[in-house]
């Protein structure tokens, strides 16, 4: 359990319950980020009323996520190592095992879709050199995104909520917040994925619960999903057939907005259940 240290950041959080602490954390995070975000939107030539490209979104996400560890340290103080032990070498195997689970569940689901005749594989237009050069960057980005999101949603928020609520309420609340906040970046394609994002949050919460609060395996699974989808999309390695129903088989823009996307989460849950 986290023991709060009184400082200028945590003082408004100490007297609130779990939900209040989560809300205040998000407000502080946003307030710190906005002075960075406004000039950045001009630099990347993006206006909030216009569609956002992947590179623009990644730039904004990186600027937002880089603040999170500093804010978590400001809130947690000396207790932060309690939820960031995944950076230790001893947890490397857990992270790698998580990546295996994340990659296997995506590939296995795509193979089922392929066997059903709803998807076809294709050769990338990029050269082998370009692919080999890009893969380390995709791996780094997947780890970075997964680490920050697990730190915040299954680390900081989990500790906030479990101080006042049981595990079920905490899991549901943190997963609902996790899903809803994805609407910040894009609403049209995100809205159909909200149920899938919610179940994704529950699955990762369950993984952290099985590991007694350790985030390592959850980071690996999350990172494996991000790496798999980013690699398949970046190198354009597959296309859905015209007769593939999006709500059943999925689409590149909405991977979690389908039965196939939900199957990835169920498959992952079963692996965790068997190996607990």
Average pLDDT over residues 260-269: 96
List the Cα angle 194/198/201 in 5-degree steps: 140
Question: Average pLDDT for residues 249-268, to the nearest whole number?
Answer: 92
Q: Give me the pLDDT at residue 15, please.
A: 60
- CA 78 from chain centre, in angstroms, equals 25
pLDDT-derived band at 142, boundaries 50, 70, 90: very high
Which tokens is 125 given? 């237009």
Residue 113 lies in a domain: yes
| pTM of the model as a whole | 0.90
Residue 56 domain-assigned (yes or no) = no
Given pLDDT bands bounded at 50, 70 and 90, which one contains residue 11? low
- Confidence at residue 51, expressed as pLDDT on a 0 to 100 scale: 78
Q: Is residue 200 part of a domain?
A: yes
Is 225 part of a structural domain of the chain? yes
- Report d(CA 30, CA 64) in Å as an integer: 8
Q: How many domains does the chain have?
A: 1
Q: Which domain holds residue 102?
A: 83-274
Is residue 107 included in any domain, yes or no? yes
With beta carbons less than 8 A apart as the criterion, state whether 153 and 174 touch: yes
Could you tell me the pLDDT band of residue 4, with boundaries at 50, 70 and 90? very low
pLDDT (average), residues 7-15: 54
* Percent above pLDDT 70 for the chain: 89
Segment 55-62 mean pLDDT: 89
Domain presence at residue 196: yes
**Would you tell me the crossing angle of helices 128-151 and 68-76 to the nearest 10 degrees?**
30
Distance, CA of 24 to CA of 46 (rounded, Å):
28
For residue 138, being part of any structural domain is answered with: yes
Query: Who wins on pLDDT, 108 or 130?
Result: 108
What is the residue-averaged pLDDT of the chain?
A: 87
What is the per-residue pLDDT for 56? Answer: 85
Binned at pLDDT 50, 70 and 90, residue 76 comes out as low
């Amino acid at each position: 359990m986290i023991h709060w240290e009184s400082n200028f950041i945590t003082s408004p959080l100490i007297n609130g319950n779990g939900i209040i602490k989560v809300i205040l954390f998000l407000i502080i995070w946003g307030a710190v980020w906005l002075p960075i975000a406004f000039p950045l939107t001009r630099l990347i030539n993006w206006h909030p009323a216009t569609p956002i490209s992947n590179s623009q979104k990644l730039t904004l996400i990186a600027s937002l996520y880089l603040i999170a560890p500093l804010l978590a340290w400001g809130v947690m103080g000396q207790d932060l190592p309690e939820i960031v032990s995944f950076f230790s070498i001893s947890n490397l195997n857990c992270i790698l095992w998580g990546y295996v689970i994340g990659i296997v569940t995506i590939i296995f689901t795509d193979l089922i879709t392929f066997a059903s005749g709803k998807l076809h594989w294709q050769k990338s237009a990029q050269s082998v050199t370009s692919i080999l050069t890009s893969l380390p960057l995709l791996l780094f980005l997947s780890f970075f995104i997964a680490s920050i999101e697990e730190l915040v949603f299954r680390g900081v928020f989990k500790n906030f909520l479990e101080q006042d609520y049981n595990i079920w309420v905490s899991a549901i609340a943190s997963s609902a917040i996790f899903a809803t906040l994805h609407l910040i970046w894009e609403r049209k394609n995100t809205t159909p994925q909200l149920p899938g994002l919610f179940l994704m949050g529950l699955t990762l919460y369950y993984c952290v619960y099985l590991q007694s609060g350790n985030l390592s395996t959850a980071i690996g699974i999350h990172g494996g999903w991000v790496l798999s989808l980013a690699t398949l999309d970046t190198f354009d390695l597959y296309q859905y057939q015209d007769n593939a129903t999006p709500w059943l088989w999925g689409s590149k823009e909405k991977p979690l907005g389908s039965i196939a996307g939900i199957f990835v989460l169920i498959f992952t849950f079963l692996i965790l259940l068997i190996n607990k």
